Amino acid sequence: MKLDAEALSARIQAAVARQAELAEQLATPETLENPDLLRRLATEHSEITPLVETGLKYLRLVEELNQSQEMARTESGDLADLAREEVARLGAEIDGLDADLAMLLVPRDPLDDRPAVVEIRAGTGGDEAALFAADLFRMYSRYSDLQGWSIDLASTSEGALDGLKEVIFVVRGREAYGRLRYESGVHRVQRVPVTESSGRIHTSAASVAVLPEAEEVDVAIDPSDLKIDVFRSSGPGGQSVNTTDSAVRITHVPTGLVVTCQDEKSQHKNKAKALKVLRSRLLDQQVAEQEADRARERRLQVGTGDRSAKIRTYNYPQNRVTDHRISLTLHRLDSVMDGDLEELIDALRTAGFEERLQGETS
């Protein structure tokens, strides 16, 4: 996106001044004797440095572009031709820096580095929807493997034909929530189900919710607000799982939120997992309310936005996947379902950064 030149220059100069201020503060004896202050200032300095470096390069190129444009207007012959070549080269280089600056200018979301709590639920479509939910779980598992992330399974509810009615898992790794947050919404699949004998294409759906894992300091839960039930686990998991009251269901009475965990053999471990998921849902509600309070209509529904809308279609006969939020279509559904989500997520992140930047500068 094109940035307002005057406002951009002011933001860059402010960043340069702040970097110099931080460098001075980092060198003072008071800072060196205070480990917490030293760590905080060093982190801010490292985060602002890419903006300063990219911003100064941007301003230098703009100045060179202005000089070349002036030369192209006032000179003639070979000098004018060379100036026009420089104008084209510098213009292309400046355009390439626009997206980088847009991302650097948006304040980093402190939740981006949190683990991501991912909830996948089969929607309309019966057994085929449960099979699609299982496919989505495999897709995110493969993507996590490619990113070097780990997955901690919290709860599963199996359907027929190896499908999943519901699965909740936690993804841990660098920028896990920051990247997966764009997956929240309704995912639609168009394909011939394995149960369809006539070869007719069916449309099914599954919903995905991605929440930042909450810490105890983020959300205070009053124990008196919780209703905790224990019961015997169902489904595969071993004899001891099915014969002991290890499954836990926690109801948060004020909000009506219900979390069930049964994948561990230990009631204590299931309760701890359920509480983590509950905290994450409560934190997600708080963030969503803050977003709504900004009273600004967003073109792109990302992060904690509206999850009721269809965000993506997976069309198997055409080997096509379309993200409706950014009108991006890829004709390699097979590789996407095998975890190759990088192009989709990068495009969504760029669009999300541009949207947030508009909010910052409006």
111-127 pLDDT tens trace: 888 899 999 999 988 88
* Range from 283-287, 299-303, 305-309, 338-342 that averages highest in pLDDT: 338-342
Q: Which one-letter DSSP state was computed for residue 181?
A: G
Is residue 230 a contact partner of residue 214, using CB atoms and an 8 Å limit?
A: no
The model's confidence at residue 5, banded by pLDDT at 50, 70 and 90, is confident
pLDDT of residue 171: 96
pLDDT at 234: 63
The rounded percent of the chain whose pLDDT value lies above 70 is 86
117-131, 313-327, 334-348: which has the minimum mean pLDDT?
Answer: 117-131
Task: Tell me the mean pLDDT in the region 13-23.
Answer: 93
**What's residue 358's pLDDT?**
65
pLDDT band at 359 (very low <50, low <70, confident <90, very high): low
pTM over 0.85: no
For residues 264 and 245, the answer to whether their CB atoms sit within 8 Å is no
Those residues with Cβ within 8 angstroms of residue 253's Cβ, 6 or more apart along the chain or in another chain: 225, 226, 227
| pLDDT band for position 212 (cuts 50, 70, 90) | confident
**How does pLDDT run across 227-269, given as a tens digit for each residue?**
988 887 665 444 444 556 788 889 999 988 888 888 777 888 8
Backbone angles phi, psi at 253, to 5 degrees: -60, -45
* Cα atoms in the Cβ-side hemisphere of radius 13 Å centred on 236: 6
pLDDT given for residue 176 in this prediction: 94
Q: Which residues make beta-bridge pairs with 150?
A: 172
Question: What is the structure's pLDDT at 235?
Answer: 54
Across the chain, what does the average pLDDT equal? 84
- pLDDT 10s digits, 25-74: 999 999 999 998 998 899 889 989 999 999 999 999 999 999 999 999 88
What was the pLDDT predicted at 290?
Answer: 62
* Residue ranges with strand state E in the chain: 116-122, 150-158, 164-172, 185-191, 202-212, 226-231, 247-252, 257-261, 310-315, 320-323, 328-330
Question: Which tops the pLDDT comparison, 6 or 362?
Answer: 6
Residue 304 has pLDDT above 60, yes or no: no
147 or 349: whose pLDDT is higher?
147
- Please state, in angstroms and as integers, the Cα–Cα distance from residue 338 to each residue in 102, 176, 215, following that order: 31, 18, 32
